């Protein structure tokens, strides 16, 4: 049986994973020659001579979120969502790790010298396949947790858990249109993707802090966290 101390450490991984990931790609995007954070996706930072830094970012944060998923189950027990929320966050984490292992293809003219649209490679296809759970599992996890929080009469967290996937998916949709070359959005695809990432990572980090502060890790049994 997992000890409360172990659970707290695993939850802490979820609290630091988001800030680490965002800080890393912000620094990389601001210092990479030829890279435009408003236009280019975060994954494109894995291309080029310094691409290993973003690859490491994917792998490290993926491992942190996988640890968080493991700690999430005992923290949510007993109550709704104790099975599905950790599984969905685990899928999110595996997607990040897979996105790090398989490098994306050039898009929107980055790295410099590449055309706006490039034929998909096997690595790029696998990158997109692994990225899918990152942008699909998180919204579903939010809805699962919303049901839990409303059931526990935690209205604030219930509303937050419902608003998050709506804003997250809206920003992701606009980013996808920009990366697909839709006129009027191509120069803003990176911005919308970053908005979606901050919304999603912010939710998970705040959830981890909420569970830590509520003492969820210290309860072996009791009422659902609210």
Residue 67 counted as domain residue: yes
CA separation for the pair 226, 214 (Å, rounded): 8
CA angle 84, 152, 155 (to 5 degrees): 105
Instruction: Determine the length of the chain.
Output: 226
pLDDT for 219: 65
Q: Which residues contact 124 (CB under 8 A, 6 or more apart)?
A: 102, 103, 104, 105
Domain that holds residue 129: 4-217
In this prediction, residue 223 carries a pLDDT of 40
Judge whether 32 lies within some domain. Answer: yes
Neighbours of 171 (CB within 10 A): 20
Q: Is residue 191 part of a domain?
A: yes
Task: Check residue 97 and report its DSSP letter.
Answer: H
Residue 222 in domain: no
Considering the domain boundaries, does residue 150 fall inside one?
yes
**CATH number of the domain that residue 198 is part of:** 1.20.1070
Tokens linked to 71: 């700690």
| pLDDT tens digits along 10-44 | 999 999 999 999 999 999 999 999 999 999 999 99
Q: What is the mean pLDDT of residues 59-68?
A: 98
pLDDT of residue 226 exceeding 60: no
* pLDDT tens profile 99-134: 999 999 998 888 888 877 767 899 999 999 999 988
| Cα 52 from Cα 48, distance rounded (Å) | 8
Place of tokens 């990152």: 134
Q: How far, in Å, CA of 205 to CA of 194, rounded? A: 16
């Amino acid at each position: 049986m997992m000890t409360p101390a172990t659970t707290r450490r695993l939850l802490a991984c979820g609290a630091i994973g988001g800030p680490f990931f965002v800080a890393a790609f912000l620094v990389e995007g601001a210092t990479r020659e030829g890279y435009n954070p408003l236009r280019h996706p975060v994954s494109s930072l894995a291309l080029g001579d310094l691409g290993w830094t973003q690859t490491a970012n994917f792998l490290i944060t993926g491992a942190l979120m996988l640890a968080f998923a493991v700690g999430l189950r005992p923290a949510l027990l007993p109550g709704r969502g104790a099975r599905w929320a950790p599984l969905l966050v685990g899928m999110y984490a595996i997607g990040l790790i897979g996105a790090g292992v398989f490098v994306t293809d050039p898009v929107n003219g980055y790295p410099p010298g590449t055309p706006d649209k490039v034929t998909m490679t096997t690595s790029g296809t696998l990158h997109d396949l692994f990225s899918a759970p990152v942008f699909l599992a998180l919204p579903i996890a939010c809805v699962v947790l919303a049901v839990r929080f409303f059931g526990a009469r935690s209205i604030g967290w219930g509303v937050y858990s419902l608003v998050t996937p709506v804003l997250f998916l809206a920003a992701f949709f606009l980013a996808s249109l920009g990366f697909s070359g839709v006129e009027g959005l191509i120069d803003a695809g990176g911005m919308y993707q970053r908005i979606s990432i901050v919304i999603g990572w912010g939710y998970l980090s705040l959830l981890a802090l909420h569970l830590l502060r509520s003492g969820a890790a210290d309860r072996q049994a009791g009422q659902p966290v609210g």
